[in-house]
A and B are shown apart, each in its own frame.
Chain A
Amino acid sequence: MIKFKINGKKVQGEEGQYVIQVAEKYGITIPTLCHHKALEPAGMCRMCTVELFNGRNTKFVTACNYPIWEGMEINTDTEAVHQGRKLIVEMLYARCPEVPLLKKLAKEYEIETVRFPKQDDDCILCGLCVRMCEKMGNSAISLTGRGVDMKIDTPFGIQSDTCLACGACASVCPTGHITLEKIKNEITKKNPFIIPSEYEMGLKGRKPIYVPYAQAVPNNPAIDRDVCMHFKTGGCQICTEVCQMDAIDHSMEDEIIEIDVGSVILSPGFKPFDPSKFDNYMYSNYPNVMTTMEFERILSASGPTQGHLTRLSDNKEPKKIAWFQCIGSRDTNKCDNSYCSSVCCMYAIKEAMIAKEHQGDDLDCSIFFMDMRTPGKEFERYYQNAKEKHGINFIRSRAHSITEVPDTNDLEVRYVNEKGVIQTEIFDIIVLSVGIEIPDETRKFAEKIGIEITENGFCKTDSFEPVKTSRDGIYVAGAFNGPKDIPESVLDASAAASAAGDSLSKARNTLTKIPESVPEINVTGERPRIGVFVCDCGSNINGVVNCAEITEYARTLPFVEFAQESLYTCSQDTQDKMVEYIKEKNLNRVVVAACTPKTHEPLFQETLTNSGLNKYLFEMTNIRNQNSWVHKNNPDLATEKAKDLVRMAVAKSGLAEPLTEEKINLNEKVVIIGGGIAGMAAAKSLASQGYETHIIEQQNFLGGQALKLYRTAKGEDVQLKLKQLINDVSSMDKIKIHLNTTLKSVDGFVGNFKSKLLKQEKDFEIEHGIAIIATGAKGCETSEYCFGENPKIITSLDLDKMLIKNDPEINNINSAVFIQCVGSRETKRPYCSRVCCTHSIENAIILKTKKPEMDIYILYRDIRTYGEKELLYKKARDIGVIFIRYDVNAKPEVTTKGNEISVKVKDHILDMLLEIKPDIVTLATAIVPNKDEKLANFFKVPINEDNFFVEKHAKLGPAEFATDGVFLCGSCHYPKSLDEAVTQAKASASRALTLLSKKDNLYTSGNVADINPMYCSSCGICVSICPYSAPLFTTEGRFKDKAEINPILCKGCGLCVSSCRSGAIHLKGFDTNQIFAQIYALDKAV
């Protein structure tokens, strides 16, 4: 260490350091124009001149390249230094009078008139760019010429081959002399470009070292080898110098890692369709034509415009936006994607709704579509709301092309409306709703590993094994298994996990390692001895907040025994040290001031456990996400806030108590209510993983609605495969089937249910840990379209029955009419029944194939053959099935006269009323759930207004209920096709299995409510207010009629605590005294 003085203050630095480095460490600012931390100093600009006193006399030296030595005295702020700098600024200002930086400096140094002749240069010859270029390992530019002719240039002043257009020179130029434009036109022969951020869809640039996006997992930066200068020239490596943890190693190479596995799950995803090959939409040429993926980023608060909706061409707020549907989907003319991408209709509506939310109701949004496909749960309602309540225009037309209005970048669209009239409209932005596509790499990969794919590149699966590929042991999930949205992908994922687990159940727990446990130290009754750990988070916190000051401050707080600052508190070495400190200083409470407890609390709690402390003796306060990151420009205020936060956390921590986690006893039996295809598929999965499963079926047979189906959309024989499944299920030892059985009552909670059942007037009871609801749905009854008046007017399921029986009557049909949406998508039942379009088309094809001369008409509102089911629609049209669209306000009219049926419908193309005299009319009746309020009450699960069960989370929890230990699958959730029902069944089994497999390690949280019965007045508020039914009145014992809380059901929300009038309830970990302590600790803050 070298000790010396700056401005009279004692400082110390390390051998080899320069004055400016030490000054910076001590917060002393020395102005400079040519200094850069990563580069060797050159002393070019002379702005950093300081006064050096060497014991005998003073002289002027440049701080950036003057090495420190013992005993020297530096003065950075004397009058002489100031005058010297002023002269330098004056000369530089005279040379470059238009450079903003020098204008600012001139003002700072109070230079009003310049005594030297003014020039019009903008380069101060600091040489930063030259040194940077050299550092990059390139040396493409240099200072050339002598004296007044000196300038920055390439050899011979010609555009250089050597320059790689990395832009490092421009990034350090203090005056703006070197710009990207200049690099492009004068310096390099290469084509400079901004590295497009993949996540921002290229709307923004990113650095060669980057974190793909804020929530990326893992959230570590990566180096893009393709653009990093080091990998091109061997130079740079500035990152290794900057990284305080020495985490960067440029010599790392790709490795091939071999892992022995029993199952493989493929989830390679999709890529959005690239519309640049369509010359009619001019995506590549017009800046205001964008894809929906780009528009998502524009709408996002974390996107390139911070969620401010503007056009790319001129940053103007748009007034009119149009979405074009089916770009790269349902199109064999311009691309080969004949399938429907399933998700685009919904996301276009969503984007239009959000755009309106951002911009207000004045924004005009139009969606150009062919068929509006919103067959998902709650989707149809969303569509109708968008249309009726939010005024989004839905235009049934496929616009041919887009032209730009000269000079404005506005976009003109000519299209034919439903009446056949040509319209011209001008939009500010046009968004192309691009479809889902399987990339070539995935197709090649599939070929390589030997799994079959469809002609569109999606994985081939069976309807009864919807996540199993053609190769044993390999499973599939997500968009590779057909275009699908989030909930369906989540279901696929869970289903694939259970399918993969089915074949591995024998190997379960054979590779488990049990960590050593440290016995817990009893700290009850001890005086709090708090340890505070302040995290710098590199420069994330310390760059704004003065962490040393916070640590010092923490030491002054009551009960704090120990406080320490560390560079990264979450790193393994700091964790190890933390364990040592806890033991050495005998700490019994720990506070960490760092990032957010939402991500890091479990890590620190584990450290506490490893040191023998109860994990609830830990408290965390957030001085990064909610402080340093959001108050970047106010370091002083941020430091003050951090002190307040630490003080509050310490106050709370002092009152922390060790908490216990109750072990949850888990009965391993599973009860499945409903013996349809979903119930059976779930049972099969659970039983093959070794769990006893009871199927409760109220009928005297298994199979449910599937017994009525003829073929799946993939053409499989339903009855054949169903019979196999019933046989499988009936022959499995672990599956107990209870036919003719109904549920009478259910008691208990996750892991401990007691269900009373009734079988042929005999009661019996099953104790089980898990329940799966699979009660299904059925076709609704209708009186529309003369149903019931003529035996030739039948439902879709009746037609299936005829087909199953191979009814000879079919051969007598010469003309058949299918009417869609009978009872669906209407005021009374405003949801889409999802499967009917495919079902009718599939049956139409079967009839047409049996008897090609048969006339078949399908009367529909929107054809909703999502995914590859679209191919059926195409096939039907190809073989001559006639599709006639009708409007809900002008439904087809069916009349019967004796044996004769007449169907009148208005054809929208001919604009004429057509009359058809069919031999048979098939009604695609809506699917309605088997509403069971009693069942819902038994398991405390909700039902929506359409009588379907409501899952835990529409997107992320589609096979489970909010009630722990209860799951759902099949059409009781929403109408679904057979393969979708099986997927959800496997998914529900998978979710149940995650619980079951934790059997021995299932504990409640410690943060639960607890009632002191002595204070309880038995008012019952807690019992009635708790959404989880955790409090109940004690029925016996000393505290009979007082409330008590079941910690297994308690979610620790604290609703009962704040509602309790007697103050009898405590929330462990967030107790009233703890929150008050935090509030009182504010005292000094306010």
Chain B
Amino acid sequence: MTKEKRKIVAFLCNWCSYGAADLAGVSRMQYPADIRVIRVPCTGRVSPKFILSAFRQGADGVWVSG
């Protein structure tokens, strides 16, 4: 895993973590550009299949937050 190619898939709950990610932006906090967010209505929506599938697509990490 080279540093440049690192990719993290994040399933963020619309009501909390997605809002928090927005707020991080409003506060101009800086973080690495490795993350790709998929907005979900609730982390309850995240089926294990999504996580496995993200790994199968080559993700280096999957983050479910809510």
User: Quick check: B45 and A1058 within 8 Å, CB to CB?
Assistant: yes
Is A648's beta carbon under 8 Å from chain B?
A: yes
Q: Mark A619-657, 1 if CB is under 8 A from B, else 0.
A: 000101111011111100110110011001000000000
User: Quick check: B57 and A1054 within 8 Å, CB to CB?
Assistant: no
User: Quick check: A630 and B42 within 8 Å, CB to CB?
Assistant: no
Return A644 CB to nearest CB of chain B, in Å. Answer: 6
User: Quick check: A626 and B37 within 8 Å, CB to CB?
Assistant: yes
Chain B residues within an 8 Å CB radius of A637: 33
In this complex, what residue of A is CB-closest to B9? Answer: A1082
**Which of A528-536, A781-789, A996-1004, A1072-1080 is the contact stretch?**
A1072-1080
Is A1070's beta carbon under 8 Å from chain B?
A: yes
Return B34 CB to nearest CB of chain A, in Å. Answer: 8
Return A993 CB to nearest CB of chain B, in Å. Answer: 26
> With A and B bound together, what is the CA distance between A1054 and B36 in angstroms?
21
User: Quick check: B58 and A1078 within 8 Å, CB to CB?
Assistant: no
> With A and B bound together, what is the CA distance between A696 and B19 in angstroms?
42
Return B39 CB to nearest CB of chain A, in Å. Answer: 7
> With A and B bound together, what is the CA distance between A535 and B13 in angstroms?
24
User: Quick check: A1058 and B47 within 8 Å, CB to CB?
Assistant: yes
User: Quick check: A214 and B36 within 8 Å, CB to CB?
Assistant: no
Assuming the A-B contacts A301-B27, A1079-B50, are A598 and B40 also in contact, with contact meaning beta carbons closer than 8 angstroms in the complex?
A: no
Chain A residues within an 8 Å CB radius of B21: 625-626
Assuming the A-B contacts A1054-B42, A1054-B44, A1075-B50, are A1086 and B7 also in contact, with contact meaning beta carbons closer than 8 angstroms in the complex?
A: yes
User: Quick check: A1072 and B57 within 8 Å, CB to CB?
Assistant: no
In this complex, what residue of B is CB-closest to A301? Answer: B27
User: Quick check: A1083 and B38 within 8 Å, CB to CB?
Assistant: no
Q: Mark B1-26, 1 if CB is under 8 A from A, else 0.
A: 00001010100001000110111111
Is A302's beta carbon under 8 Å from chain B?
A: yes
Is A597's beta carbon under 8 Å from chain B?
A: yes
Chain B contact patch, size range:
35 or more
Assuming the A-B contacts A301-B27, A630-B31, are A648 and B41 also in contact, with contact meaning beta carbons closer than 8 angstroms in the complex?
A: no
Chain B residues within an 8 Å CB radius of A1070: 40-41, 45
User: Quick check: B22 and A596 within 8 Å, CB to CB?
Assistant: yes
Is A496's beta carbon under 8 Å from chain B?
A: no
Return B48 CB to nearest CB of chain A, in Å. Answer: 8
User: Quick check: B38 and A625 within 8 Å, CB to CB?
Assistant: no
Return B44 CB to nearest CB of chain A, in Å. Answer: 3
User: Quick check: B9 and A1079 within 8 Å, CB to CB?
Assistant: yes
User: Quick check: B24 and A630 within 8 Å, CB to CB?
Assistant: yes
Chain A residues within an 8 Å CB radius of B22: 596, 598, 622, 625-626
User: Quick check: B57 and A625 within 8 Å, CB to CB?
Assistant: no
User: Quick check: B53 and A1076 within 8 Å, CB to CB?
Assistant: yes
Assuming the A-B contacts A622-B22, A629-B25, are A1082 and B40 also in contact, with contact meaning beta carbons closer than 8 angstroms in the complex?
A: no
> With A and B bound together, what is the CA distance between A1054 and B15 in angstroms?
13
Interface residues of A in 571-612 (CB under 8 A from B): 596-598
In this complex, what residue of B is CB-closest to A1052? Answer: B41
Assuming the A-B contacts A640-B33, A641-B33, are A1080 and B27 also in contact, with contact meaning beta carbons closer than 8 angstroms in the complex?
A: no
User: Quick check: B36 and A638 within 8 Å, CB to CB?
Assistant: no
Q: Mark A210-237, 1 if CB is under 8 A from B, else 0.
A: 0000110000000000000000000000
User: Quick check: B42 and A1075 within 8 Å, CB to CB?
Assistant: no
Return B10 CB to nearest CB of chain A, in Å. Answer: 9
Assuming the A-B contacts A630-B25, A648-B38, A1070-B40, are A1055 and B57 also in contact, with contact meaning beta carbons closer than 8 angstroms in the complex?
A: no
Q: Mark A186-220, 1 if CB is under 8 A from B, else 0.
A: 00000000000000000000000000001100000
Chain B residues within an 8 Å CB radius of A645: 36-37
Q: Mark B38-66, 1 if CB is under 8 A from A, else 0.
A: 11111011110010011001111000000
User: Quick check: A598 and B18 within 8 Å, CB to CB?
Assistant: yes
Return B6 CB to nearest CB of chain A, in Å. Answer: 9
Q: Mark A1051-1074, 1 if CB is under 8 A from B, else 0.
A: 011110110000000010010100
Among A627, A632, A1075, A1083, which residue has its beta carbon within 8 angstroms of that of B28?
A632
Chain B residues within an 8 Å CB radius of A644: 36
Chain A residues within an 8 Å CB radius of B54: 1079, 1082
Return A957 CB to nearest CB of chain B, in Å. Answer: 14
Is A154's beta carbon under 8 Å from chain B?
A: no
In this complex, what residue of B is CB-closest to A1026? Answer: B44
B45, B46, B53, B54: residue with the most chain A Cβ atoms closer than 10 Å: B45
User: Quick check: B42 and A1079 within 8 Å, CB to CB?
Assistant: no
Is A741's beta carbon under 8 Å from chain B?
A: no
Chain A residues within an 8 Å CB radius of B18: 596, 598
Chain A residues within an 8 Å CB radius of B46: 1058
> With A and B bound together, what is the CA distance between A598 and B24 in angstroms?
14
Chain B residues within an 8 Å CB radius of A1067: 41, 45
User: Quick check: A1085 and B36 within 8 Å, CB to CB?
Assistant: yes
Chain B residues within an 8 Å CB radius of A633: 30
Chain A residues within an 8 Å CB radius of B45: 1053-1055, 1057-1058, 1067, 1070, 1075
Among B7, B9, B30, which residue has its beta carbon within 8 angstroms of that of A630?
B30
User: Quick check: A625 and B58 within 8 Å, CB to CB?
Assistant: no
Return B33 CB to nearest CB of chain A, in Å. Answer: 4
In this complex, what residue of A is CB-closest to B19? Answer: A598
> With A and B bound together, what is the CA distance between A633 and B30 in angstroms?
8
In this complex, what residue of B is CB-closest to A625? Answer: B25
In this complex, what residue of B is CB-closest to A300? Answer: B27
Chain B residues within an 8 Å CB radius of A1082: 7, 9, 36, 54, 57-59
Please give the residue numbers on chain B whose beta carbons come within 8 Å of chain A beta carbons, in ascending order.
5, 7, 9, 14, 18-19, 21-33, 36-42, 44-47, 50, 53-54, 57-60
Known contacts A1070-B40, A1070-B45; 9 further A-B pairs (Cβ under 8 A): A629-B25, A630-B29, A645-B37, A1054-B44, A1079-B50, A1080-B53, A1082-B54, A1086-B5, A1086-B7
Q: Can you give 21 A-B contacts (C-beta < 8 A)?
A: A301-B27, A597-B39, A598-B19, A625-B23, A625-B24, A625-B26, A626-B22, A626-B37, A627-B33, A631-B32, A634-B33, A644-B36, A1052-B41, A1054-B42, A1070-B45, A1072-B47, A1075-B40, A1082-B7, A1082-B54, A1083-B58, A1086-B5
